Amino acid sequence: MKVKKYVAPTMPEAMNKIRKELGHDAVILNSKEINQGGFLGFFRKKNIEVIAAIDPQPKVEQKASPKKPERQEKPIQPSVPKAPPISYAQQDEPKPKQDENVLKEIRELKELMQHQPMSSTVAYPDVLQEVYQNLIKQEVSEEISHQLMQPLIETFYTTKSNVNEEMVKEWLIDEIRHQVQDIPFEGLSFEKQFIHLVGPTGVGKTTTIAKLAAESVIKHKKKVAFITTDTFRIAAIDQLKTYAKILDIPIEIAYNLEDYKQAKEKFSDYDHVLVDTAGRNFRDQQYVEELKKIIDFEAELETYLALSLTSKYSDMDAIYQQFSNVPIQKLIFTKVDETSYSGAMLNMVLQHKIGVAYLTDGQNVPDDISEASVEKMIRRIVGETGET
């Protein structure tokens, strides 16, 4: 890695030097104010000292480990008792004794489900098992999959018609709708002046914030500005500057909290100020406390967490906890077009009781973004069955 020190009167001048010599992929390691020159300690000038680095070696792609041969396993014996088939050929209504037997079996089945360890090896009646396995395949967690399946068991044993897979899918869709009915799925309200987008590196925050700006400018005819606090990579600043130029909106770069405060005052008469943040800062509780002195998170700010749908659920959950120091209004899922598995979306929604604002599925600004909805999530997980 090539590391070099730069000294300039201002941070923008230092950044220009770094950009020209090391390129757009340079990383800022440290920056501080220094005093230089003068005579006998007087007339010294303040300068900015920046330590920057670049890795001159191309990144070597990791080779995928050879896939282990699949082990042939014996068929799993059902761990859930199946109720005996109920015949309605001779009568329209079951006898009271039959009713009692069915209800007893349902109670026993639900009790067994509640006490057994959560495992994908649990076997449901055949027609339910197909739907359950699809949830697991979509990477819905085992806990949430069982949670969704329990009401379906009762419906299965009390229905009076022949049950097929499409019927079970409809029951599942209704159950998902029921469980998320109080969770908001909609785009940004644009009621607050400042809109922060947070999230880890590489999820597409900068492109997403440009899409939101384009929607606000083109669709809603709002007066919009950009602030970026993501000064870790020079390329990120240049990318947002390009979008600002295309959309003909102003941009301010905040290298510290004082810069952020000045930018906030400069854009005080704008309808919306979209802020691209350096997510790593939100791990630092002191940084959040300092930011709270400038911003009223509840009164004037909406914060949205961007997550890549290509990530594992466990990683998404860890990222959500990382940003728990600030109130997150909703999630934005990016890179939706790069995966066929959407169960992690449902996991996040049900586990944290948090809604989804947008789904993004490409790099085109402003086209590749759409408002999230419960029905879009259901279609991605269950399929096209059900109302849209």
Do 312 and 255 lie in one domain? The reply is yes
**pTM for this structure?**
0.71
Specify if 167 maps to a domain: yes
Do 211 and 167 lie in one domain? The reply is no
Do 243 and 328 lie in one domain? The reply is yes
What is the distance between the alpha carbons of residues 126 and 109, in angstroms, rounded to a whole number?
A: 15
Question: Which residues lie closer than 8 Å to 266 by C-beta, 6 or more apart?
Answer: 252
Q: Are 67 and 79 in contact (CB under 8 A)?
A: no
Domain stop point among 152, 179, 206: 179
Q: Are 208 and 196 in contact (CB under 8 A)?
A: no
For every residue of the chain, which 3-state class applies, written as one string?
CEEEEEEECCHHHHHHHHHHHHCCCCEEEEEEEEEECCECCECCEEEEEEEEEECCCCCCCCCCCCCCCCCCCCCCCCCCCCCCCCCCCCCCCCCHHHHHHHHHHHHHHHHHHHHCCCCCCCCCCHHHHHHHHHHHHCCCCHHHHHHHHHHHHHHHHHCCCCCCHHHHHHHHHHHHHHHCCCCCECCCCCCCCEEEEECCCCCCHHHHHHHHHHHHHHHCCCCEEEEECCCCEHHHHHHHHHHHHHHCCCEEECCCHHHHHHHHHHCCCCCEEEEECCHHHHHCHHHHHHHHHHCCCCCCEEEEEEEECCCCHHHHHHHHHHCCCCCCCEEEEECHHHCCCCHHHHHHHHHHCCEEEEEECCCCCCCCEEECCHHHHHHHHCCCCCCC
What is the distance between the alpha carbons of residues 292 and 325, in angstroms, rounded to a whole number?
A: 11
- For 201, phi then psi, to 5°, come to -65, 140
- Determine the pLDDT at residue 354: 95
Do 373 and 224 lie in one domain? The reply is yes
Spell 225-242 as b/e; 16+ CB within 10 A means b. Answer: bbbbbbbbbbebbebbee
Do 44 and 158 lie in one domain? The reply is no
Do 226 and 360 lie in one domain? The reply is yes
Where in the sequence is the domain holding 352, given as residue range(s)?
194-381
Specify if 108 maps to a domain: yes
Do 213 and 160 lie in one domain? The reply is no
Specify if 84 maps to a domain: no
Token readout for 177 is 């709708």
Could you tell me the maximum CA-CA distance found in the chain, to the nearest angstrom?
110
What is the distance between the alpha carbons of residues 101 and 197, in angstroms, rounded to a whole number?
A: 55
Q: Using one digit for the tens of pLDDT, what is the confidence trace for 155-214? A: 888 886 788 889 999 999 999 999 999 999 988 887 888 998 888 888 888 889 999 999
Q: Which residues pair with 78 in a beta bridge?
A: none
User: Computed from CA positions of residues 311, 316, 322, 325, in that sequence, does the dihedral angle turn out positive or negative?
Assistant: positive
Do 219 and 356 lie in one domain? The reply is yes
Do 199 and 127 lie in one domain? The reply is no
Segments in the chain below pLDDT 50? 40-41, 59-65, 68-94, 115-121, 386-388
Specify if 169 maps to a domain: yes
Helix axes 126-137, 142-158, angle to 10 degrees: 160
Specify if 103 maps to a domain: yes
- For 133, phi then psi, to 5°, come to -65, -30
Token readout for 141 is 């967690």
Domain stop point among 127, 150, 179: 179
Specify if 75 maps to a domain: no
- Determine the pLDDT at residue 56: 65
Specify if 318 maps to a domain: yes
Do 154 and 205 lie in one domain? The reply is no
Specify if 60 maps to a domain: no
Do 206 and 161 lie in one domain? The reply is no
- Domains in the chain, number: 3
CA 11 vs. chain centroid, Å, equals 33
Do 220 and 365 lie in one domain? The reply is yes
CATH code for position 273: 3.40.50.300
